[in-house]
Each structure stands twice: as C-alpha cells, then as structure tokens.
C-alpha cells in the first residue's frame, strides 16, 4: 500500500485495510507512527456519549472518565465527543418514582456509547 501523509510533514505506511467505518461514521485508517494515530477524512467524527453518573458508580468516577475521553480526543485530534449528562439516579427516583424516563431506550439509542 502507498504511504499516507500525516499532515505534519511525515508519511506512514498503512498495513490495515482502508475505508472501515462503523455504521453512520466516517471511514478511518489506523496507523502506528509514534504510537496510535487515527487519520480521518476531511472532517472529524463526533461521537455522542450518554453520561450516567448515578449511584453504583459515583458521579466523581464518571466525571474522571469524561475527562480522560476528552483528553484522548484532544490528543489524537481525529475525533470529537459530545456528552449528554443523564440524571438517572436514586435522587431522581425519590423525586419522580422512576429511575429513568419511559423513553429511555430511544434516548440511549441516539448515542454512540454510554459512560
């Protein structure tokens, strides 16, 4: 396969198949020049992540995970993340009588991942 320009004056050889993309996502190439690098087509993918900082895993643990994911996105520069904070906890249950809204499945399906 021919080398791929990284945009910073270097080229890498790609030994992985090109054009792979998750459903609804832009194709990307994985390369290993100075560590893992994701090279994307002309625009970045944005991954929607549902953030549920409830009782079993405390909000402080989820918040640390959010910081890590944001740091990875910034470091790689090949994707962005959009977090939606969902208040599905015991406090919500005490106030409403339900941990989650009736349409919780639809809400979660609108996201690429859940943290």
pLDDT, tens digit, 9 for 90 and up, residues 57-79: 778 888 899 999 999 999 999 99
Contact 114, 50 (CB under 8 A): yes
With a cut of 70, say whether residue 7 has pLDDT above it: no
Q: What is the mean pLDDT of residues 34-55?
A: 69
DSSP-derived letter for residue 17 is P
Domain that holds residue 100: 44-115
Co-location of 68 and 28 in the same domain: no
Count of domains in the chain? Answer: 2
Co-location of 104 and 62 in the same domain: yes
pLDDT tier at 105, thresholds 50, 70, 90? very high
Co-location of 49 and 25 in the same domain: no
Q: What is the mean pLDDT of residues 82-89?
A: 92
- Spatial neighbors of 95 by CB under 8 A, at least 6 apart, are none
- Cα(7)–Cα(89) distance, rounded to whole angstroms? 45
């Amino acid at each position: 396969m021919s080398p791929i320009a990284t945009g910073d004056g270097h080229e890498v050889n790609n030994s992985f198949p090109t054009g792979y993309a998750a459903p609804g996502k832009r194709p990307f190439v994985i390369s290993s020049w100075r560590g893992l690098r994701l090279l994307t087509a002309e625009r970045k993918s944005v991954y929607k992540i549902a953030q549920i900082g409830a009782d079993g895993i405390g909000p402080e643990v989820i918040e640390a995970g959010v910081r890590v994911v944001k740091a990875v996105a910034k470091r790689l520069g090949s994707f962005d993340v959009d977090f939606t904070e969902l208040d599905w906890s015991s406090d919500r249950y005490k106030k409403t009588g339900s941990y989650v809204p009736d349409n919780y499945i639809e809400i979660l399906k609108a996201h690429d991942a859940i943290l």
